[in-house]
């Protein structure tokens, strides 16, 4: 298994990524602001359940390829680093977008949970990101890759729960003010 230092660095990087604007955290913010803190927490749990699927796919699928070829492992690391740089470049060039409310009424907690799962599982960018990100912290010289990748995925999920949970709680609290103030809604958009 990787050193504790590697896990700390990975956790910090995972938390920073959770704070970076993206569809998942914007979804948590929106649902929390519209339907309350509990809704945001349930969406967070759904998103993290989806992350378990991506983690298992990367840990057990890609680990077999890496075990057979160290060149393949290094290629994925290089391509992964290039993809992360591309994402950073796109983030710096991104504009603003409006967040709109769902006018269909309050969804139930079960529906919000499954929305989170489906949103995460169907987001191929998350799988590609996991393929790019997790191998950067795995080391085939310290043991089998599958358990390392799975453990790193669990650390990522833990960081996501902390970050998105905090976002859900804060957004749910601010949602009351947001719904009452068109000026605040304008600023948020």
**What does the pLDDT look like over 83-93, one tens digit per residue?**
667 756 765 66
Cα 51 off chain centre by: 7
CA angle 99, 44, 31 (to 5 degrees): 30
Region 132-155: mean pLDDT is: 87
Cβ-based burial of 32 (10 A; exposed 0-12, middle 13-18, buried ≥19): buried
135 pLDDT higher than 60: yes
What is residue 102's predicted lDDT score, i.e. its pLDDT? 46
> What is the reported pTM?
0.72
Structural domain boundaries of the chain? 23-92+109-188
Tokens of 188: 């948020």
Cβ-based burial of 28 (10 A; exposed 0-12, middle 13-18, buried ≥19): buried
Element (H, E) at 78: helix 70-93
């Amino acid at each position: 298994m990787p050193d504790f230092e590697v896990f700390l660095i990975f956790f910090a990087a995972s938390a920073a990524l959770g704070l970076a604007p993206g569809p998942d955290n914007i979804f948590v913010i929106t649902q929390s602001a519209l339907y309350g803190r509990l809704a945001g927490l349930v969406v967070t749990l759904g998103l993290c359940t989806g992350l378990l699927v991506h983690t298992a796919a990367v840990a057990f699928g890609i680990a077999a390829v890496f075990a057979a070829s160290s060149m393949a492992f290094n290629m994925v690391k290089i391509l992964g680093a290039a993809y992360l740089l591309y994402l950073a470049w796109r983030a710096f060039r991104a504009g603003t977008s409006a967040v709109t409310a769902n006018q269909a009424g309050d969804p139930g907690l079960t529906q919000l949970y499954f929305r989170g799962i489906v949103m995460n599982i169907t987001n191929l960018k998350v799988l590609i990101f996991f393929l790019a990100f997790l191998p950067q912290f795995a080391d085939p010289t310290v043991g089998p890759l599958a358990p390392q990748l799975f453990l790193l995925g669990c650390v990522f999920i833990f960081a996501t729960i902390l970050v998105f949970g905090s976002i859900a709680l804060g957004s749910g609290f601010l949602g009351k003010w947001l719904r009452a103030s068109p000026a605040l809604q304008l600023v948020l958009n």
